[in-house]
Every structure is written in structure tokens, then in C-alpha cells.
Amino acid sequence: MAAQEMSAHETLSHLDVQGRSIAFKSLPGAPEKPGLFWLGGFKSDMEGSKAGHLVEYARAHGLANVRFDYSGHGISGGDFEDGTISRWLEESLAVFEATTRGPQIVIGSSMGGWMALLLARTLAQKAPDRVKALVLIAPAPDFTEDLMWAEFPPPVRELVMNTGKFLKPSLYGEEPYVITRTLIEDGRRNLLLGAPFAVGCPVRILQGSADTDVPWQHAMRLVTGLAEDDVVFTLIKGGDHRLSRPQDLTRLSKTVDEFL
């Protein structure tokens, strides 16, 4: 695991996960305080505004902070088209176990919300004290099935099944999202909604009312799914999918404050 010095005390390192070089940045903090662990969204990277805001929040409060890029994202190795929910979860667990100590506040955005739920559910079985809370921003569990496959018209479904991929236009850049048949089929092995499940920790959900990528009704399904856990759902009027406005970042900070 090689590391190089970044600004202040944050370091950039790489972790090998099944031959894939996963880049992560870590900030040390007081061992008696919970750390922050960031899980980004589909096709995003660890340099986004929310991830950067949490680094500054952690620095101001003396907290450890870890953020990373999934394979095929940002500066990590691997090809995006090879990515699946199972593969990215494997990387999330590997980085979590290699870089964090003690209780962690896991913060996931969009697909990162799905990752956070899967990670917490896995750890609840073998290390129940490691996840102190989940903070989910516009969480998108099951998005490959409910927000992609279910919304694809028949010609697109046929294209995915026959050619193995579909180039989905992106609202956030010139490059389209490559949606593969493998991603869709693997997503079905990781579905959470539709039946009760537990993560064994408090869950806070921040959701924008004007989110066109993950409708608030989709995120709301988590409230009933997590019937055994302490869940608070906050609907932010006028908030979009990114929830990166100054007032959104302030709300994120106040949500994390609850668990310090």
C-alpha cells in the first residue's frame, strides 16, 4: 500500500483488491471519536463537493475521514464497464476494513447509499459495533432494477440483452453511462427493497423533493423497509439529486453532528 502526502494531513494511497488498484484518501483523527467513511455515487469520484465538505468537517472536529474511488471511477484502476454492485461492494468492504478503526459514521450518496446499506448489513453480522450510523443522501438502493431496467423501453432492453450494453445519456457530462447486462443481472443479486431488512444502526436520509434521478418516493421506501432500525427521513424542498448547495451542505453537517 503506497502513500504520498496531500494537503494538511490527508494522504493518497492505493489498496489492491483482487488485482484492482483502489485509490483512497485518508485523514487521521482522534481515536476516541467516530470516523467518517464516504461512499460516492455511480460514475462519480471522491473529489466531489460533498466529499470535500466532509474532509473539512472532519478536520474541524478532529475526526478521521476516508474517501475512495470504486474501480473504473476517478483515479482507481479497472474498467468502468467491468463494474458491478457486488464488485464495488467488495471494494467498499476492503477499504473500510483496511483503513478504519472503531465506530464509523458511513455517509453514502446515491449509489453510495445502496453501498452503505449493503456494507452495514454485512458488518452487522460480524462486527456490529463498527457502524455507528448511516447518513444517506438521495439513496438509490436497487436503482439498476427499479430506476433503470423498469424504465427502459422494450428496444433498449433488447439492446442490453443482445449486445450486452446500452449507452445511457448523462445529465452531468458529455460522456454517456455504459449500462451493461452484467450490471443489471448482478444488481438483482443485491436487491434490498420489497422486504424488511435491518442494518443495526440509526439511519438518516436526506432527500431532495426536486430530484429527477432518484424520486423521493423511491427513497421513502427505505423507511418501511428498515422497520427495526431508527430511521429519520428528511425531505428537502427544492433540493435536486446532488444536494450540494450551501444550505444542503450545512444540513449534512448538522445531520452528522447528531452522532458525535
> What pLDDT is stored for residue 124 in this prediction?
93
Of the residues 69, 186, 211, 248, only one is catalytic, namely 211
Would you call 218 a catalytic residue per the annotation? no
pLDDT recorded at residue 173: 66
What is the predicted pLDDT for the residue at 170? 78
Of 14, 73, 218, 241, the active-site residue reads: 241
Given the residues 13, 76, 110, 186, the one annotated as active site: 110
Q: What is the pLDDT along the chain (260 residues), one digit of tens a residue?
A: 444 444 458 999 999 999 999 999 999 999 999 999 999 999 999 999 999 999 999 999 999 999 999 999 999 999 999 999 999 999 999 999 999 999 999 999 999 999 999 999 999 989 999 999 999 999 999 999 999 999 999 999 999 999 999 998 877 666 888 999 999 999 999 999 989 999 999 999 999 999 999 999 999 999 999 989 999 999 999 999 999 999 999 999 999 999 99
Helix (H) or strand (E) holding 140: none
Q: Is 241 a known active-site residue?
A: yes
Q: How many CB atoms lie within 10 A of CB 198?
A: 13
CATH 3.40.50.2300 is held by the domain 17-26+34-39+50-141+195-260: no
149: Cβ contacts below 8 Å, ≥ 6 apart = 157, 184
Q: What is the pTM of this model?
A: 0.94
Q: Where are the domains of the chain?
A: 17-26+34-39+50-141+195-260, 142-191
Which segments of 80-130 are extended strands (E)? 104-109
Asked if 45 is an active-site residue, the reply is no
